[in-house]
Chains A and B, each alone.
Chain A
Amino acid sequence: MMTWKYKISAAAIILIFLSASITSAETSMAPLLSAETAAGSSVPAGTIVGSPHDFRGYLWNRSGEICTPCHAPHKTQILPAPLWDQGLSTQTYIMYGKTRPPTMEAAVTSQPDGMSKICLSCHDGIMAPDAYGGNTGGAAHLFDKDFMGIVQGNNHPISFIYDTALSTRDGDLYDPSTKPSGLTGSTRTVKEDMLFSNRMECASCHDVHNVKAVPGTQLLVKDSAGSALCLTCHNK
């Protein structure tokens, strides 16, 4: 009887330990975000017009569209199915993996999400400044210790869940569901103003449409003077 009890406790402890180690492995796989971002804007906030993401005025942009460079237009014409795949029922592609089978993403919570993918598809270091110096999993240092300096850089993770549980676990993060965002004119919380489905994304700090971005910054949602933007979440 006693030995059974011990076995039960031992098994329970092992299970708890296993689940804890899985959780910590997931969080340590958070990807890294480079400080290097879009060119600074001296245009007043309030509109995308005139911001670094306003691509009108270029010869290529004959229709003068602002939105379509980033958001591909949805055509309605009927096109023939691919010659080698006549069994298709769809005519359009999934953009940035936004519509995904639910079984797919559960295990890859630390990879860039759909709404950050739209940024990274241009900000790849070639087409536009690299918005993302590192990859996931801290893999880089495994190749060669000499490259740690290059790789680790000044990066911030994205597409991870930032919730009360994380703030409790971390100890140095405010609870996003109670901490005010402090964004101009807002009385709402970090969670309401800056997170997307509880996730931190590129757009948590960067207002890519320049609706409320601080002029002269890299389209930041909040002035970073005195590290105010960092201290919105980090309790230091």
Chain B
Amino acid sequence: MKMRAFILFMLIISMGCASTPRKPAVPPAPIFYPPLPQRPRLEFLHSISGENDLGKKQSAFQEFIFGKRRDRLLGKPYDVAACKGKIYIMDRMYKKIVIIDLIGKKMSFLNDHGNGSLGDPAGIWVSEEIKYVADMQRKQVVAFDKNDHFLRTYGSKEIFEKPVDVAVDGKRIYVVDMDKEQLFILDRDTGQVMKVIGEKGMFFKPSHVTVGPSGNVFVTDDLHFVIKKFSPDGKFLNAIGFHGDQIGGFARPKGAAVDKNGRLYVVDAAFENVQIFDDQGRILLFFGGPGSNPGSLYLPAGIAIDDNNTAYFQKFATQDFKLDYLVYVTNTFGKNMLNVYGFGHWIGTSLPGG
């Protein structure tokens, strides 16, 4: 009897020990795409879902006095854009723009009151620190200045039916209208419509627009399951991808972004990955994939490429991987809301493939 009680006691003690969370002795293995020993091009760096992920620390004393601080969390991030020190999230749960302040380690709503108040925002773009938001309810693009104050609007309900995304390059503003199934080019200064692209049947439910370094425009033509490429003045050039579940195909294409070398990144919500194409439309790589592991994607939607905050995120990268630029991808579900990846170069010992 005594022995049995002793064994039971030891068992419970050992169970207790086993369930105690411990810090891993070794850091988790880096997540590279493609994995080593191939030459890695991207590394998963970090997920941001709330203020706690920005490294904001609460001291033991503060916790004792004020209680445990509740984390401010993203709701349903759909689109993303960035400038120096800040990431802007278009959050479909709050129907607001959430500003992630990397330096101040905090999150706040963009104050969109009065003339700038947002109704049903869908897409966001940042150009020269001006924030442009496509709003489906206002049927307008609403612009906010460098200090996040309301600046002006573009378009009206006479022009747009359902503006879902916006991209800006120099003096040109590109707006995709999902219901009119057209791409609009507006003048940034006058606000005038310069051109409308999309004769009947050209697009079906276009959902996203982005601009590359040479000014070419890329429209996600959702239910044609391709990305359509246009010259800066709206001349159709070619289509990338096809409908299907094979590598290089699309099933639910969403956000797209182009890096400074003209490589096209496309999010697919069905494959829950991002595919990278070269400027000739050949597939280079895909990354992400379904699940809840670090680096995985959960019904992803938006993507942005950021050259401004690379130094900030270098601390999350492996020592042997030198970051060139950042890739943000939003997850509309799952525990990891904004995934941050770094495109870079392996600077460690030479790899088998060279």
Known: A7-B9, A120-B333. A83 touches B204 (CB 8 A): no
Any chain B CB within 8 A of the CB of A74? yes
Contact indicator per residue, chain A 83-119, by CB within 8 Å of chain B (1) or not (0): 1111110111111110011001101100110000110
Known: A87-B38, A95-B270, A108-B335. A142 touches B292 (CB 8 A): no
Mostly, the A contact residues are loop
Q: Which residue of B lies closest to A18 (CB)?
A: B19
| CB within 8 Å of B: which A130-156 residues | 130, 133-137, 139-140, 142-144, 147, 150-151
- In the complex, the answer to whether B245 meets A74 with C-beta atoms within 8 Å is yes
Q: Report the bound CA distance from A118 to B299 in whole Å.
A: 9
Q: How far is the CB of A88 from chain B (nearest CB, A)?
A: 7
Determine the residue in chain B with the shortest Cβ distance to A5. B5
Decide: A69 and B38 in contact? CB cutoff 8 A.
no
Bitwise interface map of B from 284 to 315 toward A, beta carbon under 8 Å scored 1, else 0: 11100111110010110100000000000000
Please report which residues of chain B, range 245-285, place their CB below 8 angstroms from some CB of chain A when the two chains form the complex: 245-252, 268-273, 276, 278, 282-285
Q: Does B164 contact A111, Cβ atoms closer than 8 Å?
A: no
How far is B269's CA from A1's CA once the two chains are assembled, in angstroms?
61
B113 within 8 A of A: no
Residues of A within 8 A of B (CB-CB), count: 71
Instruction: Select B272's contact among A80, A83, A97, beta carbons within 8 Å.
Output: A97
Cβ of A101 to closest chain B Cβ, rounded Å: 7
Q: How far is the CB of A138 from chain B (nearest CB, A)?
A: 10
A87 x B34 contact (CB < 8 A): yes
Q: B41 contacts the other chain (Cβ, under 8 Å)?
A: yes
Question: Contact flags (1/0) for B210-244 with A, using CB distance below 8 Å?
Answer: 00000000000011110000000000000000111
Given contacts A84-B284, A104-B292, A151-B93, contact A58 B204 (CB under 8 A): yes
Q: Are B270 and A96 in contact (CB under 8 A)?
A: yes
B8 interface residue (CB < 8 Å to A)? yes
In the complex, are the beta carbons of B246 and A91 less than 8 A apart? yes
Contact with B along A1-26 (1 / 0, CB 8 A): 10011011001100100100000000
CA distance A58 to B205 in the complex (A): 11
Contact A93–B247 (Cβ < 8 Å)? yes
Q: A1 vs B38: C-alpha distance in the bound complex, in angstroms?
A: 62
A216 CB–B CB distance under 8 Å: no
Nearest chain A residue, comparing its CB with the CB of B49 = A139
Q: Cβ of B268: which chain A residues have Cβ within 8 Å of it?
A: 93
Q: Which of A12, A120, A139, A151 has the most CB of B within 10 A?
A: A139
**Quick one: which of B76, B207, B271 contacts A93, CB cutoff 8 A?**
B271
Give the residues in chain A near B85, CB-CB below 8 Å. Answer: none
Instruction: Tell me the complex Cα distance, A8–B16, Å.
Output: 12
Is there an interface contact between A126 and B178, defined as CB atoms closer than 8 Å?
Answer: yes
Q: Secondary structure at chain B's binding surface: helix, strand, loop or mixed?
A: loop
A139 and B16 within 8 A (CB):
no
Q: Are B299 and A117 within 8 A (Cβ)?
A: yes
Q: How far is the CB of A38 from chain B (nearest CB, A)?
A: 14
Q: What's the least CB distance linking A68 to chain B, in Å?
A: 7
A226 to B65, CA, bound (A): 52
- Shortest CB-to-CB span from B107 to chain A, Å, is 8
A72 touches B270 (CB 8 A): yes
Determine which of B72, B93, B245, B283 lies in contact with A134 in the assembled complex, contact meaning CB atoms within 8 Å. Answer: B93
Interface string of B85-117 (1 = CB under 8 A from A): 000000011111010000000010100000000
Within 8 Å by CB of A72, from B107, B222, B244, lies B244
Enumerate A36-78 residues with CB–CB distance to B below 8 Å: 55, 58-61, 68-69, 72-75, 77
Q: Is B22 an interface residue (CB 8 A)?
A: no
Specify which chain B residues have a CB less than 8 angstroms from the CB of A7 in the assembled complex: 9
Residues of A contacting B178 with CB < 8 Å?
126-127
With an 8 A cutoff between CB atoms, is B347 at the interface?
Answer: no
Partner of A151, one of B35, B75, B222, B293: B75
Interface assignment of A79: CB less than 8 Å from any CB of chain B: yes
Specify which chain B residues have a CB less than 8 angstroms from the CB of A230 in the assembled complex: none
Chain A residues in 8 Å Cβ range of B73: 137, 139-140, 142-143
A124: interface (CB < 8 Å): yes
Top 7 nearest A-B pairs by Cβ distance?
A97-B290, A72-B251, A59-B201, A60-B204, A85-B34, A93-B271, A121-B269
**A interface list, Cβ under 8 A from B:** 1, 4-5, 7-8, 11-12, 15, 18, 31, 55, 58-61, 68-69, 72-75, 77, 79-88, 90-97, 100-101, 104-105, 107-108, 111-112, 117-118, 120-122, 124-127, 130, 133-137, 139-140, 142-144, 147, 150-151
Interface residues, chain B, with chain A CB atoms under 8 Å away = 2, 5-6, 8-9, 12-13, 15-16, 19, 33-35, 38-39, 41, 50, 70-76, 78, 92-96, 98, 107, 109, 122, 136, 164, 178, 200-201, 204-205, 207, 222-225, 242-252, 268-273, 276, 278, 282-286, 289-293, 296, 298-299, 301, 332-335
16 A-B pairs with CB atoms under 8 Å apart are A8-B12, A11-B12, A60-B223, A72-B245, A79-B248, A82-B248, A84-B41, A93-B270, A94-B271, A104-B293, A104-B296, A120-B299, A125-B78, A127-B207, A135-B333, A140-B94
